[in-house]
Amino acid sequence: MSTFNVYGVCICRDLFTMGGANNHKILRFLQGSSPIINFKYSSQPRMYISEEDFVGVDGFTRFQQECIINDYNASLPQYYDVKADYFVIDLCVLSYNLCKERYEDGTTRLFTATKWFQKAYNNGLRDFFRKNNIEIEFLDPMEYLSDNMIRESVRAEVEWIRDMGYDDEHIILIEVKRSSCYTKGGCLRFFEGKDRDRMNGRLDYAYSICRKEIPGCIFIPTPINAYCDAEHKWGLCDLHYCSEYYEYLLEAINTAIQEVEGEYTLAKTRLEIDRLYRKYNLLLTQKSQAFLRNSISLIDGKNLINDFGICDSFVACVSDKMSVIENEELVDAFMKSNKTLEEAVEFFKSDAKQNLNRPNGVALEERK
């Protein structure tokens, strides 16, 4: 058995309960608190939120209240007061919305505007801000965060972890990013929204900084074609992945621990994790391709537009009952192209235009 302190999104906790049988123990875990407000740009509030402020605010577990309170009160660093064998982090918390509060004298400070906080605010927690004459403004991290803020926040977080006594090989960095797609009813569907790829690009930058700061850490990359699951125990979200993803993470952690506690070498550990990475890349690619084939074969033209955002010309090619052969050709071409799921839509867009000259490749406008 090994012990872990975890700071990040729910994935880093759920891998221990959803990834398979194990006897590991999590000592400390707080969820959804941005490193932006906890380290380099941290400041104390003038009035602190307590459990008493949640009286009458229904629908929250004690853990959810604890996460909101520690984030707002800027007390997260002090929460991790027990040292574990390993410290697990991800940087996807940088993608969470921020909230700027403004006092009567114009002074401002930041905290994390998680969905939990926003729900609590709308369900009665706003009374705390009203009685203390505090105005709040919700901020989009894509618009607010600069590269410098990300870089300095990541460096400060690493310094905090090292100050607690963790050396590189006892820090586990999991490359969590937001998925663009999910499975439902045996089909592959795409999340709405245009900023996901942009945010993942910012996260790539954050992870590159972190790996430079902790060159000897245990780094676990996310498989290329990992997808989310609409039947996830916590519901549909672009961070609620399929079961195989959690199995991969736990297997990678167990592998790394065996190496560290044995004859540890960074090169050997990375080779073992890379072997698992390639194994699950193949598995998830095969499964996602099967889901994608089902999507193209079973979803009608209207749903295909709604769920995939694909151009009308491609929908015409695959939705007409007379174009089954054309459909199969497109799917087979995609299978052989070895493209990632993120490239699938662009692939279909470009290929659909070429299909307009084929007998069944008629645009929707021309079929009306």
Alpha carbon separation from 157 to 57, 161, 362 (Å, rounded): 32, 6, 55
First-last CA distance in the chain? 65
Residue 332 has pLDDT above 80, yes or no: no
CA–CA distance, 229 with 184 (Å, rounded to integer): 7
3-state secondary structure of 136: strand
Q: Quick one: how many helices (H) and strands (E) in the chain? A: 16, 11
- pLDDT at residue 292 in the model: 84
Q: Using 50, 70 and 90 to split pLDDT, how confident is the model at 128?
A: very high
User: pLDDT: is 321 or 297 the higher one?
Assistant: 297
3-state secondary structure of 201: helix
| Rounded mean pLDDT, 179-185 | 91
- pLDDT at residue 308 in the model: 45
| Rounded mean pLDDT, 244-257 | 94
Residue 165 has pLDDT above 70, yes or no: yes
The CA angle 112-35-209, to the nearest 5 degrees, is 140
- pLDDT at residue 321 in the model: 30
User: pLDDT: is 95 or 321 the higher one?
Assistant: 95
How do residues 266-317 score in pLDDT, each as one tens digit? 788 889 999 999 999 999 999 988 888 887 776 544 444 444 444 343 333 3
User: pLDDT: is 368 or 276 the higher one?
Assistant: 276
Residue 197 has pLDDT above 60, yes or no: yes
CA–CA distance, 118 with 29 (Å, rounded to integer): 21
Residue 41 has pLDDT above 70, yes or no: yes
Q: Using 50, 70 and 90 to split pLDDT, how confident is the model at 328?
A: very low
Please give the model's pTM, rounded to 2 decimal places. 0.79
User: pLDDT: is 343 or 320 the higher one?
Assistant: 343
CA–CA distance, 162 with 210 (Å, rounded to integer): 13
- pLDDT at residue 347 in the model: 53
| Rounded mean pLDDT, 321-331 | 39
Q: Using 50, 70 and 90 to split pLDDT, how confident is the model at 112?
A: very high
Average pLDDT for the chain: 82
Place of tokens 């979803």: 299
| Rounded mean pLDDT, 94-111 | 92
- pLDDT at residue 224 in the model: 86
Place of tokens 């009203």: 130
Residue 353 has pLDDT above 80, yes or no: no
The b-or-e profile of 14-42 (16+ CB within 10 A means b, else e) is bbbebbeeeebeeebbbbbbbbbbbbbbb
Q: Percent of the chain at pLDDT above 70?
A: 79
According to DSSP, the residues that pair with 181 across neighbouring strands are 190
Q: Percent of the chain at pLDDT above 90?
A: 59
Cβ neighbourhood burial of 349 (10 Å; 0-12, 13-18, 19+): middle
User: pLDDT: is 171 or 262 the higher one?
Assistant: 171
3-state secondary structure of 98: strand
Cβ neighbourhood burial of 165 (10 Å; 0-12, 13-18, 19+): exposed
- pLDDT at residue 264 in the model: 64
CA–CA distance, 38 with 70 (Å, rounded to integer): 10
Q: How many CA atoms lie within 13 A of 296 on its CB side?
A: 26
Token pair belonging to 290: 């099967």
CA–CA distance, 169 with 219 (Å, rounded to integer): 10
Where is average pLDDT lowest: 33-47, 97-111, 310-324? Answer: 310-324
H or E stretch at 184? strand 181-184
Q: Please give the DSSP secondary-structure letter assigned to residue 87.
A: E
The CA angle 294-299-303, to the nearest 5 degrees, is 140
Q: Using 50, 70 and 90 to split pLDDT, how confident is the model at 257?
A: confident
Place of tokens 């307590």: 50
Q: Is beta strand 181-184 parallel, antiparallel or unpaired with respect to 108-112?
A: unpaired
CA–CA distance, 28 with 87 (Å, rounded to integer): 10
Q: Is the separation of the CB atoms in 173 and 157 below 8 Å? A: no
